[in-house]
Amino acid sequence: MAGTAVLGRLTWRVAELVDVVVETPRVKTLVFDVQGWPGHRAGQHVDVRLTAEDGYQAQRSYSIASAPNGTLLELTVELVDDGEVSPYLTDELQAGDRIELRGPVGGYFVWEPAQGGPLLLVAGGSGVAPLMAMIRARDAAESHAETRLLLSSRGWDDVIYRDELERRAGDGLTVVHTLTRSQPPGWTGYTRRVDAEMLAEVVPGPTERPLIYVCGPTPFVETVAEALVGLRHDPQAIKTERFGPTGG
Amino acid sequence: MSFVSRGFRGRRREDADPSRVPPGQYVTSDFPVLSAGPTPHTPLEDWTFSIVGEVDEPRRWTWEEFRALPSEQVTVDIHCVTKWSKLDTTWEGVSVDTLLDGVETSAEHVVELSDGGYTTNLPLEDVTGGRAWVAFAFDGEPLQPEHGGPARMLVPHLYFWKSAKWVRGLRLTATDEPGFWEVNGYNNYGDPWREQRYWGD
């Protein structure tokens, strides 16, 4: 609780890019080594700050995609064509370059293995990033909490973390894809946007009292959250994180 | 700071007056949405607005009564802690001064109360003196549910999470009671010009 927390200011830390993982044609995961990183909980985010030579600065928030892992921190960044920060992060930044960031931020959209399950994760596109942190934290803690991820992507090649999700599936983790724009030959999965009918088929019923995390673009989150309420899930159990069209 | 991000030039907006953009913010023409859970939909016939807590007598308005109160049109800049600012937004709403008119209280703090259980806390003096409204229209149109309709707080001099969506009342309190985001890592006051985003800022 805030009243009892004794925390200093979240200071800006220097983060050095040590690796880049190409997730999809438009999405990269940037692996930073952050001096003095205090650790984080799955679902939290950081603020990134870039400084131009003339002192001009730009800040944006990015969800943390990695489970707590020493000083290494992974951010998954989708290129926004007319953005100010994401084109720099995805196209300009090279291993050895440094940026500034501070965090971790946010104490609500978080899941810790001790909370158990069942866990329902619903993501649109790069909204999967903070949910991946939860899946990774679950595995790192050797939790067997029943977890279902419903991930909406445009096509098979747009599925972020595709191979890793396949690898991690099983042992209580179920991954369900819907591909809304194009599907590979022989695709038998969902081919439409997430709707109430799909959620009813995929998610645990309200009587199982799942902990629900929904992340994606605003219209996606609105649709999913409304449908879940319509399916009689407790609104208080539905935690949402949205990114707008100006994610930058 | 001497820190420079190699190769970063930035893309400054030339149509925005820099003196109106607080530190760390960027100007957007969109109206992004941020909320912690599903959007509530309270029918207008069930909607009320209440003043409760440390007051001589609680006050309550139905939607009809609320809309019959004198309202004001305001044009203000708004600043979200997630970094976007939106300039010259136009709203219509009832001034909190109007709602508190005749209310006797010794409270020094206020908690905004919303559908869905969201709360946010402020000093009472930050919602009086023509600095806060209960807004029901944006850009000349009824306020949409995802933006807090039918009515939301508008406290434009603080970060926008202090302008609670789906607001249903104000609780006047003798002591400061941190609200939803305030117990989850966000600053207790939230002045964008002092960049008070998080605990300790």
CB-CB under 8 Å, A245 with B30: yes
Structural domain boundaries, residue A229 = 113-243
pLDDT, residue A205, reads: 87
Closest Cβ opposite residue A51 in set B8, B33, B39: B8
State yes or no: pLDDT of A5 exceeds 70.
no
**CB of A123 within 8 A of CB of A131?**
yes
Q: Which residues of B touch A246 (CB under 8 A)?
A: 28, 30, 32, 84
pLDDT, residue B16, reads: 81
CB-CB under 8 Å, B12 with A107: no
pLDDT, residue A3, reads: 39
CB-CB under 8 Å, B4 with A51: yes
The whole-chain average pLDDT of chain A stands at 93
- The three-class DSSP label of residue B3 is coil
Alpha carbons B172 and B104: distance in angstroms, whole number:
11
Which of A48, A224, A240, A241 would best serve as a mutation to test chain B binding (most B beta carbons within 10 A)? A240
What ipTM is given for this predicted complex?
Answer: 0.90
Q: How far is A240 from chain B (nearest CA, A)?
A: 5
CB-CB under 8 Å, B185 with A106: yes
- Phi first, then psi: give them for residue A90, nearest 5 degrees: -90, -25
What residue ranges of chain B have pLDDT lower than 70? Answer: 1
Alpha carbons A222 and B33: distance in angstroms, whole number:
10
pLDDT, residue A7, reads: 59
pLDDT, residue A244, reads: 56
pLDDT, residue A241, reads: 92
Mean pLDDT over residues A188-198, rounded?
A: 97
Please indicate, yes or no, whether residues A121 and A53 belong to a single structural domain of this protein. Answer: no
Please indicate, yes or no, whether residues A153 and A224 belong to a single structural domain of this protein. Answer: yes
pLDDT, residue B31, reads: 81
Chain A residue with CA closest to B27: the answer is: A246
Closest Cβ opposite residue B8 in set A5, A52, A218: A52
Bridge partners (DSSP) listed for residue A58: A50
> Quick check: is A80 in a domain?
yes
Question: C-alpha distances in angstroms, A121 versus A16, A149, B134?
Answer: 30, 5, 35
Task: Please write the tens of the pLDDT for every residue from B85-123.
Answer: 999 999 999 999 999 999 999 999 999 999 989 999 999
Chain B residue with CA closest to A221: the answer is: B38
CB-CB under 8 Å, A2 with B182: yes
Predicted TM-score of the model (pTM): 0.93
CB-CB under 8 Å, A228 with B32: no
- Phi first, then psi: give them for residue B177, nearest 5 degrees: -120, 105
> Quick check: is A63 in a domain?
yes
pLDDT > 70 fraction of chain A, expressed in percent and rounded = 95
CA angle (A164 as vertex; A159, A165 as ends), nearest 5: 65
Closest Cβ opposite residue B38 in set A8, A100, A225: A225
> Quick check: is A8 in a domain?
no
Domain boundary, last residue among A45, A75, A104: A104
Question: C-alpha distances in angstroms, A177 versus A152, A163, A171, A214, B128?
Answer: 6, 13, 18, 15, 51
Domain boundary, last residue among A47, A74, A104: A104
Classified by CATH at the fold level, domain B45-194 comes out as Sulfite Oxidase; Chain A, domain 2 (3.90.420)
Domain boundary, last residue among A87, A104, A121: A104
Q: How far is B45 from chain A (nearest CA, A)?
A: 21
Please indicate, yes or no, whether residues A124 and A153 belong to a single structural domain of this protein. Answer: yes
Mean pLDDT over residues A71-98, rounded?
A: 94
Q: Which residues of B touch A99 (CB under 8 A)?
A: 5
Chain B residue with CA closest to A223: the answer is: B38
Query: A87: exposed, middle or buried (C-beta count within 10 Å: 0-12, 13-18, 19+)?
Result: middle
Please indicate, yes or no, whether residues A143 and A52 belong to a single structural domain of this protein. Answer: no
Please indicate, yes or no, whether residues A81 and A158 belong to a single structural domain of this protein. Answer: no
Mean pLDDT over residues A84-94, rounded?
A: 95
CB-CB under 8 Å, A1 with B178: yes
**CB of B92 within 8 A of CB of B135?**
yes
- Domain ranges within chain B, ordered by starting residue: 45-194
Task: Please write the tens of the pLDDT for every residue from A235-246.
Answer: 999 999 987 544
Say how many domains are in chain A. Answer: 2
Structure tokens that stand for A33 in this block:
């080594």
pLDDT, residue A9, reads: 83
Q: How far is B172 from chain A (nearest CA, A)?
A: 19
* Structure-model confidence comparison of residues A248 and A78, the more confident one: A78
